[in-house]
Amino acid sequence: MSLRVYNTLTREKETFQPLEPGKVSMYLCGPTVYKPAHIGHMVGPVIFDTVKRFLQYVGYDVTFVINITDVDDKLINKAHELGMTVKALAEQMTEDYFDNLRLMGVDSVDKFPYATDHIGDMLEMIQRLVDNGHAYPLDGDVYFSVTADDDYGKLSHRSVEQMLAGTRVEANNRKKNPADFALWKSSKADEPAWESPWGPGRPGWHIECSAMSSKLLGDSIDIHGGGLDLMFPHHENELAQSESASGKCFVRYWMHNGLMQSGKNTGKVGGQHDKHGDTSAEDQIAGKLAGSAGAESVKTAVFAHQHPEAVRFFLLSTHYRSPIDFSLENIANTAKGLEGIYRMFETVERICGTCPYSIEVPTSGENTTDLSALPAETAAELTALRGRFLDAMNDDFNTGGAIGNLFEMRKCINGFIAHNKLDQQATAEQKAGLLAAITLFRELGQLVGVFRKPIEKTTAADDGLVGGLMDLILELRADARKEKNWAAADKIRDQLKALNITVEDVKDGPARWQRG
C-alpha cells in the first residue's frame, strides 16, 4: 500500500510523490513568540514530527523546517507592555517553545529559522514581485496585488468578491483592491525597522514563510503544514506570493491540521501561528488549567497534570484533520491506556532481564524486527497487526487507527505471557521471542514518537529515604505474608493506599509499588 495524503488544495487524498524521488521537504508554520506556548501550539509540531518519522520509516530522506516569527505587531505590543525589548521577549518565549517541544518528544525538526535572520531574503522576494508587476509600493508600504494573480483564492477556494462580501470593516481605500495585503510595512518610531528600497520598515505578515521556505527548501516544496486557521489568509497569501515570484508550483501537498477546542467553550486554542484572532479562548483554557488568569506555558498548565507522553499520545489518538476536544479528563483517559503498556514493559523486563527501552529499534521498514523466535501463530498475528498499523499510517497518517493496533499488540503480547505463564518460568527461546515482540512494539511506537525512553519510573523514590523505607516496609509485609498473617499484610497495604501508594504483589518477586 502506498502513501496517500489529503491535499487541501485539491480537497482529495492523493498518492504521495515527492518532487525529487526519495526526498521530502516539509515546512510548518511556527509560532509568533510573544507569549508562552500553549497546548494548541503543540498540535502541529507533534503531528508533523510524526509525519516525518513515518516518511523516514518508509525510506524518505526528510528535511523538516519550522519557522519562528520574531517580529510582528503582537510581539511589539507585548514587549512595550512588559517594558522589554522585542528581541529579549522573543528569545525568552522561543526558549519556552523549545522546552515544550522537547517535553513532547518533538526532536525531528532540522531547522528553526528566525524571521529576523531572513529580512534580506524577504526584501529580495518583494523586489521581484514589484518588478514583475505583482506588487506595488504605496507610501512606504508595499502591497501584493491580488487582481494581478489570476488564481488567487485557489487554496481556500474563495474568490476575491466572496472575501470582500463578509468584510466587516471598511478596508484601506488607498489600496488598489481592498483584498491586497501588505508585503512590507513602513515602521513607526519606536518599532523595529530595517532599511529597504521603500524606506525603513518591517516585513508583512506572510512574506517570511515564503522567503524562508524558498531559501531553505527551494521554490517548490513537498509538504506545507499548519493549522486549519492559517489556510486563509496566511497560506493563501504565501501561495500567491511564492508562485507569483517564482512562477513555479509552491507546495505539492498542503496539509492542515484541525484545531484544538475546549469542551463547552469550543474556542480556538490551537493555531500554530497566532497571526491573527483574539486570544481570549486560549487564555481561558490556560487560566482554567493553571487555576489563574492569563496564559501559562504548557509546561505549567498541562504537564503539571499529565505526563507529556500522555498528551502526545492523546493528540495522535484522533485524526489530525479533526478538531480535538481538549480536556484533562480526556488526557487522563488516554494515560490509563498507556499505563497498561508501561506495565507490560515492566513485566517483560522482569521476565527477560532486559529493559525494553534499551533495545535498539529498527527505524526503517526495510529491516523490521525479526519475529522468528516466536511461535508461528503469535508471529503471524503480530505481523498482521504491523501490516494494519502501516496501512493506517499510509492512509493519510491515520494515527488514531494505527494506535488501535498498538493496543491489540499489547493484548497479543500479554496473552503470550499469560498463556505460557512466562512470568513464572520462561525458556531462553521464549524470552527471545518475547523480546522480539516487544521490539516490534517499540518499532511501531517510535513511529508515533512514544515509548522512546522510560517515563519517570513510577517506583522511583524521590530520595533514598523513601526508597529505603518502602523496601523495609514491603519486606516486613512479605514476612507477614509468608506467615499467612493476612491481617498485618493487609493493614500495611491499606495504610499505604491511604498514603496514595499502591502495592501490588508479584508472583515470585518483590512487590511492585507506585504512587497513585
Partner RNA sequence: GGUACCGUAGCCAAGUGGCCUAAGGCGAUGGAUUGCAAAUCCAUUAUUUCGUGGGUUCAAAUCCCACCGGUACCUCCA
Interacting residue with RNA among 116, 272, 297, 398 (CB under 7 A): 398
> How far apart are CB 456 and RNA at their closest, in Å?
19
- When asked if residue 486 is in the footprint of RNA (CB under 7 A), the reply is yes
Q: What is the DSSP string of 4-67?
A: EEEETTTTEEEE---SSTTEEEEEE---B-SS---HHHHHHHHHHHHHHHHHHHTT-EEEEEE-
Range 73-92, binding RNA (CB under 7 A): 73
Interacting residue with RNA among 15, 22, 168, 465 (CB under 7 A): 168
| Cell numbers linked to 346 | 515492566
Whose Cβ is closer to RNA: residue 432's or residue 488's? 488
Whose Cβ is closer to RNA: residue 156's or residue 220's? 156
CA distance 460 to 470: 10
- When asked if residue 272 is in the footprint of RNA (CB under 7 A), the reply is no
Q: If you count them, how many residues does the chain have? A: 516
Residues 182 and 145 sit within 8 Å (Cβ to Cβ): no
- The conformation of residue 146, written as its DSSP 8-state character, comes to G
| Residue 144 neighbours by CB under 8 Å, 6+ apart | 129, 134, 135, 180, 181, 182, 183, 237, 240, 241, 244
- Percent of residues in the chain assigned helix, strand, coil, to nearest 5: 50, 15, 40
SS3 318: coil
- When asked if residue 234 is in the footprint of RNA (CB under 7 A), the reply is yes
**Looking at 45-53, 91-99, 440-448, 501-509, which segment touches RNA (CB under 7 A)?**
501-509
Cα radius of gyration rounded to whole Å, the chain: 27
Cell numbers 484545531 correspond to what residue?
Answer: 259
Interacting residue with RNA among 319, 386, 434, 441 (CB under 7 A): 319
> How far apart are CB 504 and RNA at their closest, in Å?
4
| Residue 229 neighbours by CB under 8 Å, 6+ apart | 259, 268, 271, 273, 277
Range 407-446, binding RNA (CB under 7 A): 407-408, 410-411, 414-415, 417-419
SS3 488: helix
- When asked if residue 325 is in the footprint of RNA (CB under 7 A), the reply is yes
Whose Cβ is closer to RNA: residue 53's or residue 388's? 388
Interacting residue with RNA among 23, 336, 457, 515 (CB under 7 A): 336
Interacting residue with RNA among 120, 340, 387, 510 (CB under 7 A): 340
The count of other CB atoms within 10 Å of the CB of residue 209 is: 31
- When asked if residue 151 is in the footprint of RNA (CB under 7 A), the reply is no
- When asked if residue 170 is in the footprint of RNA (CB under 7 A), the reply is yes
**Looking at 108-116, 158-166, 368-376, 440-448, which segment touches RNA (CB under 7 A)?**
158-166
**Looking at 32-40, 116-124, 243-251, 264-272, which segment touches RNA (CB under 7 A)?**
264-272
What DSSP element (H or E) covers 7? strand 4-7
- When asked if residue 181 is in the footprint of RNA (CB under 7 A), the reply is yes
SS3 94: helix
> How far apart are CB 64 and RNA at their closest, in Å?
23
> How far apart are CB 60 and RNA at their closest, in Å?
22
| Cell numbers linked to 385 | 497487526
Whose Cβ is closer to RNA: residue 106's or residue 393's? 393
- When asked if residue 349 is in the footprint of RNA (CB under 7 A), the reply is no
| Cell numbers linked to 436 | 522480539
Whose Cβ is closer to RNA: residue 268's or residue 386's? 268
CA distance 191 to 76: 7
Interacting residue with RNA among 192, 233, 270, 433 (CB under 7 A): 233
